[in-house]
Amino acid sequence: MRHIISLLMENEAGALSRVAGLFSARGYNIESLTVAPTEDATLSRMTIVTRGSDEIIEQITKQLNKLVDTVRVVDLSDGGHIERELMLVKVRAEGILREEMKRMSDIFRGRIIDVTDKTYTIEMTGAGHKLDAFLGALDKSAILETVRTGASGIGRGDRILKS
């Protein structure tokens, strides 16, 4: 099962390597990991997307909690949550492709943020499957480069993760 885990950590040097090290040392799968400081500069927030059986996910949350720098751990998949990912895609935009790419970007609510006479760079946010769908809808040979941030997640409504 896919799980999306949110983590508040002390914003200390090495916090990221402790988390990454934990996943590799224990052989846990890590699909994506995003990290950045929060409005409180002493805290950083991570979102980890992982896969595993219920037993493994239970161990992952316990092991994350056990890290001395960990302030809070929440498995967002346990309740209502929203996740978003940012993707930048550079596509070929010459000849007939130029119009086509603009149209596709609009349909998927992307924004063209850089233009040359040969390329467009499209910015798009959404759940991972939406970004996948966009890429799937494009002509493979037209995609020059993609970069994705991995998911960031937050609980719905008054599910709030605070220190």
Partner 1 sequence: MELTGAEITVRCLAEENVEYVFGYPGGAVLNIYDEIYKQDKFKHVLVRHEQAAVHAADGYARATGRTGVALVTSGPGATNAVTGIATAYMDSIPMVVISGQVPTPAIGMDAFQEVDTVGITRPCVKHNFLVKDIRDLASTIKKAFYIASTGRPGPVLVDIPKDVTQFRAEFEYPRNISLRSYNPVTKGHSGQIKRAVQMLLSAKRPMIYAGGGVILSDAAKQLTELARLLGFPCTNTLMGLGGFPASDPLSVGMLGMHGTYEANMAVHHSDVLIAIGARFDDRVIGNPEHFYQEERQIIHIDIDPSSISKRVRVDVPIVGNVPEVLTEMIKLIKASKEKPDQAALKTWLTQIELWRSRDCLKYDRSSDIIKPQFVLEKLHEVTKGDAFVTSDVGQHQMWAAQFYKFDKPRRWINSGGLGTMGFGLPAAMGVQLAHPDAMVACVTGEGSIQMNIQELATCKQFNIPLKIILLNNRYLGMVRQWQEFFYGERYAESYMDTLPDFVKLAEAYGHAGRRIDNPAEVEDALKWAFSAEMKEKLVFLDFRTDQTENVYPMIPGGKGLSEMILV
Interacting residue ranges for partner 1, rule: CB under 8 A: 9-10, 13-14, 17-18, 21, 25, 55, 58-59, 62-63, 65-66, 68-71, 163
Taking the complex as a whole, the smallest distance from the CB of residue 160 to partner 1 amounts, in Å, to: 16
Give 17 or 141: the residue with its C-beta nearer to partner 1: 17
Q: Which is nearer to partner 1, 23 or 108 (CB)?
A: 23
Fill in the amino acid letter for 69.
Answer: D
In the complex, minimum distance from the CB of residue 43 to partner 1, in angstroms, rounded to a whole number: 9
Least distance (Å) between residue 69 CB and partner 1: 6
State in angstroms the smallest separation of the CB of 17 from partner 1.
Answer: 7
